[in-house]
Structures are given as C-alpha cells and as structure tokens.
Structure 1
Amino acid sequence: MLKALGLWLGVLFPVVAQGASVVFLNPGHGKEDYWVRYAAFMQAAADELGMHLRVEYSDREVATTRDQARQVLESADKPDYLVMVNEQYVAPQILRLAHDSGVKMFLVNNPLTPAQTHTIDAQPQVYAPVLGTLTVNDEQAGFQMLHGLLAKLPASNGTIDLLAFSAVKNTPASQAREDGMRRALADYPQVRLRQVVYGGWSRQRAYEQAQVLVQRYPDARLVWCANDEMAFGAMQAFAEAGREPGRDVLFSAVNASPQALQARIDGRLSVLVGGHFTVGGWAMVMLHDDAHGVPVDRDGQREHTVPALQLIDAAGAQRWLQRLRRPDLGVRFRPLSAEGRGPDYRYPFLQPPQL
C-alpha cells in the first residue's frame, strides 16, 4: 500500500533532480568590480541551469583562500565541484587538501604552471586530479595592447619610451600578459622599455609607483598596464605631473569595467581589451554538462582557452556598457549546453565573441 502511494505521489509530484553544487573560491575583494561581476555572471548561469553556487571571497589573501578550501573540503556537506584560480600559485595546496575528498576540481583564469602540472600528475596519491581548466588568451592580449598603443602614435624616427605595470610575478595570467608585451617589443626596435613594475592589480600601489616613474622617465609616451585599476592609478600620477592621459602619454588596460569603458570612450584609455570576466559563467555551463554525463574532456582535452579578451574600441565600449546593465549580459546559457548534442558540438564561447 505504501509503495503504491509513493508511486502515486511520484506521478502527481515528480521528483526534481537536484542541480550540481559548486563552490567558487573567488580570489578578489567583495567590492572589486571585476571579481564581483565575474561572480554575478556565474550566478546568472547557475540560476538558469538549475545549479547551486556559493562564492567565497578571499580579498587577495592566499592564506584565506587555503582556509576557505579546507573548510569546504572538510565539511559534511561538500559540493560536487570546487572552482578555483591559481592566483599566487595556490592551486597545488588546495589540490593536496582535496585528495580523496570526492569533490571535482576545476581551474579558471590561471592554470597550473608546467612545473606544478608535472608534480601533481606524478603524485596521484597526494593530489586530487584536475577535472579541467578554462583560461583566456592573456598572452595575446598583452601583445595586442602594445601593438595598439604603437598604432595610436604619430609616425616618428626617434626612440619611444615605454613603461609597463605588470601585476604579480607568481600569477600565470599576469605573467602571460607581460610575456605578450615583451613578444610585441620585437616588432618595434624603436621602443625602449624603461622599466617594468609590479603593481599587484592595485590602483593605489600603481599610483605610488607611477609618482616615481613619471619623474624618473619624463619622456615616457606609452604606459602598458595589465589591468584597469593599475592604469587608473598610473593615470592619476601622470595627470598630477601635468601629463594628460590620451594626449601627452597613451595608456592601455585590461578589463571591461564601466569606468574603463568610459575612459575608452573619452579617449583617456587609448587601448582597452576586456571580456574575461565571463569565464566563470562558461565554466558553469561545462560543469552542468559534466554533471549530466557530458565529460569536460570529451574532446580529449582537459585544458581549454576562451578567446574572451578582445580589443574594445569606442563603439564597442558603448555596446559593452549597455550589456553590463544585466548580470547575465543578455546571454542565454541553457542553449549553450552540449547535453543532447552530437560528439562534434563545440561550445560557442570557445570561438571569438561577436560584440
């Protein structure tokens, strides 16, 4: 009788399958525009795909990230997936904590270094395996920014002084952008890279560094910056020294924040690349599919690159500002899923975006 009643209730009130649960260890600050928008786009994807997402901000403290990971992995209610960023090379510590936890590990934005990969793959009894990695075209972005800056300068036979604000030495994305900038230098023998400083993604730190550099290199005409916050800090110092951004000295930056987009429209930023805050949302699509039996590595690869970082001109900046009014950017996530599609299906977000 009870069995029949249960079947009858199942017909009237069908059991809804629980969506996959995800914890994202966000390395940024809870008030940092880039990482807040990043998490909001992830949440929009989770909502549409029926997934459960929890975001933990570490305020750029590696020890906090490690502690958050330990709490998640030792809790009685573990998530299905833990998404993390290899910021300041923290990933191996977390993968060690995750060994035998049953939680699937996924990396975004900053991949493992080759040395880390070798160590982890050689010791499966110590480290949890990495389900997959989703990164962006950081090296290409660094290359394009310098090319874009040079294209804005009037033709000249003289030497051109360049300053560069990289972020941190032990974060793969930062290093990749700097590598791209250095690769582009080979195309411009007239450009003299006077100094590279590491601003830690921070506006205040870059401002303080730029106060020194603008006095040390008064003829600098180009300032390459690995993110928008450092660009704005450097701009402030140059403006205070009587060097007008966009006229006397040209700046580049990474990130499609509202402030950066407006600066691109106004001409204070001469070159801007952005779009990479969408990566977490695309990762949610892949994890949704994995939870429904469509493996992340079904194409034979664990590591995928999203060409999300694209040059944004003034007209593109206007379009981005319109899109930013919605956390989901007007994107429908469910139609992007590989669930129910043929083996040749390729995620659209792995193709260059049309914005």
Structure 2
Amino acid sequence: MLRSVLAVIGALCLLVFSQLAPAAIENSRVADKAPASVLFLNPGFSDEPFWVGYSAFMQAAADDLGMQLQIIYAERNQQNLLEQLGTLLASGKQPDYLLFVNERSTAPEILRLFEHSPTKLFSLNSTLTADQQQFVGGSRQRYPNWIGSLVANDEEAGYWMAKALIAKLNGRAGSLLGFTGTRDTPAATLREEGLHLALLEHPEVKLEQLLYGEWSRQRAYTQAQLMLQRYPDVQLIWSANDEMAFGAMQAAQEMSKQPGKDIFFSALNNSEEVLQARIDDKLCVLVGGHFTLGGWALVMLHDYHAGLDFAERGGKDRVDQVFTLLDKDQAKRLMRRLKTPGYALDFRQFSAIYRPQMKDYRFSIQPLLQ
C-alpha cells in the first residue's frame, strides 16, 4: 500500500516538474545575464503629452522586465539629437540597445553613426521607408546591428478615421479638410494614404485641401482659420493626431461652429484631453493605441537579450495592429487604466521568456481596454 502511495506521489511530482521545468529554464536565462541597457531617442518635446505618455509606458515595461532605460528627448530638433549621439559615441559608454524613430528621415544617418558600434539598433514607430531601404538595405542586411523594427498599422488608422468620419454624412455629399503631420515622417504618410483610400470609396466626399500641420495645435489653428473661411461649408475635419484636431476645433468654435453638430472631427492619440473629448462627443471619431509601441518593443528586446530572437515569433520587422477605433465606453476604460500605477499590467505576461510556448507576440491595445 505504501509503495502504491509513494508511486502516485512520485508520478505527480514528475508531472508538476515537467510543467514547470521549461519556465524555470527560461527564467534562468534572465538571471544569467546582466540587465539590458536601452536608450530611447524620443523625437518629441519633453513636455509633449503624447511622447511623455509614450515614454511612461516604456518605463513601466522596463521596470517589470528588469531593464535599464534611458530616454533622450530630441525636443523636435533632429540636428541636436544627432549631435548628442556623436557625443555618446565619443564617450565610449554605449547601451546594449538603441531605439530610434525615423522622424524627419534621420534613420539612415543614425544607422551610419552606429555602423561599427556593438550597440544593437531597433527602429520604432516610424521605420525606414521603402526608398530609404533601397539605399541602405533592410534590417540585418548592410547594417547587421540594426536588428528589427516595430510600427503600428498607420494606414489602417487613417482609413478607419476617414470611413467613420464620412459615415456621419449618412450617404450625403460633403467636403473634408485634412491635417497631417510632416512631409518626411513615414507614419504621417501612411495615415494620409489611408485617408485617400477611404476617399476613393466615397467620391461623393470632396477633399478640399490636405494641410501639413506638423503635429502642432497652434499651426493647425492658424491654418484652419484661413481654410474655414475659404471653405465655409466643410462638414468634416480629419486630423492625423489630437493636437492638430484641437487647433482646428478652436478655429471652428470661434466661427460659431459646434463640434459634433455643425462640423465633425476625427483625431488620433490617447491624451486625457482627447479621451475626454471623445466621451463628450466633441470628437465623433477617435483612434488610439500606438503609445504602447515602445513598451512592446522592450518586451521583444528583453527576450532577444536572453537569447530568444523575436524574429522567430512573428518576424524581425513587425506591423502590429495596436491602433483601434475607440468608442465612448472604451475611452472611459482607457482613461482609467492610464491613471492606474503601472497600468495594472505585468509586462512579463507578454514575454516569450515566461511563455515559452508562444508562437507570435500579437501586440495590441486590448489589454488596456479590459
């Protein structure tokens, strides 16, 4: 009898060990290596709501994953950023990983600067364009230390915003003003392409003008003052971010046009101000989610640093569907999560180190909408 009981206990112990062993082995990978040091070249201003929130999500991921994160803000001055990188290279104190954004087409110069550096490079948010890659190659090609990229579904975001905005006309003919970012930022270009795809499907809607608001509320406000006088019957305003939407909205309100009634606005981002505007119906269309990209990139680099190449779990160059259309209830839920310490997330749950059976990361904003 005793032998039978001991045999059962032994079998159970073996079963439990077989289930835990892979995770224990993977966890040992993390313990055996020094924490990864990461430098993020943030292209925005250090007081710019979107980029500050973007960095905060990254910091929460770094804290959970035991990574050392440093952030340098370009303050929208790419030349200043490149000079700081030159100083970093001269110092000899280089991070394990460098995260960069192809803002104002600076990516090829960043790759050139770090060509002989041991630092691994990863492009984020806006990667190299097809034209740029014709000259410098893709990741892990001419520059083998450029190991990959992660960008959002920007074209879909632009398309979804336009389709939802046009739906407000209920099939009637109408006209639209568009506000996009900068000419040489791939994310802006892709969102514009999404807008044009939607307009091709709706010939009854006329694009009066597409303006380069350069992501700026003040610039879009000044432009909208002129454009709304030139096109007083415009019913729809499409904006590639929230700041430009608010600038155009201010100009419309000063002309006694009521948002959500006389004129309809779309926007993209996740600031508390823009989420509240969606809740209050000042915005009838809101797309959000790409502020999570930096955090998800750290998950990928965390695994890579431990020897698990993210290229084997969805590819080295990812376009993830982090954008989604946010209704009023989702905007409320997201606002609550953004105010919760650590976003009420344990980033280890997204890592292949702790989920060795995972075949694809499939990053999205959904964990923050639950």
Q: TM-score, normalised by structure 1?
A: 0.91
1:107 to 1:244, Cα distance in 2 relative to 1, 3 A: same
Measure, in 1, the Cα distance between the counterparts of 2:246 and 2:346: 33
1:39 counterpart = 2:55: yes
Measure, in 2, the Cα distance between the counterparts of 1:274 and 1:84: 21
Measure, in 1, the Cα distance between the counterparts of 2:154 and 2:141: 32
Aligned mate of 1:176, from 190, 200, 210: 190
1:51 to 1:193, Cα distance in 2 relative to 1, 3 A: same
Q: How does 1:1-355 map to 2 (within 5 A)?
A: 17-121=33-137, 127=143, 129-156=145-172, 159-299=173-313, 301-326=315-340, 328-339=342-353, 341-342=355-356, 345-349=359-363, 355=369
Deviates more, 1:69-78 or 1:43-52: 69-78
- Kept in 1, the 8 Å contact 2:313–2:360? The answer is no
Matched residue SS, 2:128? coil
Shift of 1:69: 2.1
Runs of 4+ in 1 over 6 A off after TM superposition: 122-126
1:223 to 1:351, Cα distance in 2 relative to 1, 3 A: closer
Equivalent residue pairs, number: 339
Deviations 1:303-343 (A, max 9, x none): 11221110001111110110110353211111211126446
Measure, in 2, the Cα distance between the counterparts of 1:82 and 1:144: 32
Shift of 1:187: 1.2
Measure, in 2, the Cα distance between the counterparts of 1:166 and 1:348: 28
Shift of 1:189: 1.0
Matched residue SS, 2:72? strand
Deviations 1:205-259 (A, max 9, x none): 0000000001000000000000000000000001101111111000000001100
1:278 to 1:221, Cα distance in 2 relative to 1, 3 A: same
Larger Rg: 2
Measure, in 2, the Cα distance between the counterparts of 1:87 and 1:176: 13
Deviations 1:157-192 (A, max 9, x none): xx3010000111100000000000000001111000
> Which one-letter code corresponds to 1:305 in the other structure?
V
Please report the RMSD computed on the Cα atoms of aligned residues, expressed in angstroms: 2.0
> Which one-letter code corresponds to 2:136 in the other structure?
I
Deviates more, 1:107-116 or 1:215-224: 107-116
- Kept in 2, the 8 Å contact 1:306–1:351? The answer is no
- Kept in 1, the 8 Å contact 2:313–2:361? The answer is no
1:300 to 1:129, Cα distance in 2 relative to 1, 3 A: farther
Contiguous gaps of at least 5 residues in structure 2: 1-30
- Kept in 1, the 8 Å contact 2:268–2:287? The answer is yes
Measure, in 1, the Cα distance between the counterparts of 2:224 and 2:78: 26
Measure, in 2, the Cα distance between the counterparts of 1:181 and 1:83: 29
Measure, in 2, the Cα distance between the counterparts of 1:167 and 1:304: 23
- Kept in 1, the 8 Å contact 2:150–2:317? The answer is yes
1:45 to 1:125, Cα distance in 2 relative to 1, 3 A: closer
Q: TM-score, normalised by structure 2?
A: 0.87
Contiguous gaps of at least 5 residues in structure 1: 1-14
Shift of 1:74: 2.9
- Percent sequence identity over aligned pairs: 47
1:349 to 1:77, Cα distance in 2 relative to 1, 3 A: same
Shift of 1:75: 2.3
Which protein is richer in helix relative to its size? 2
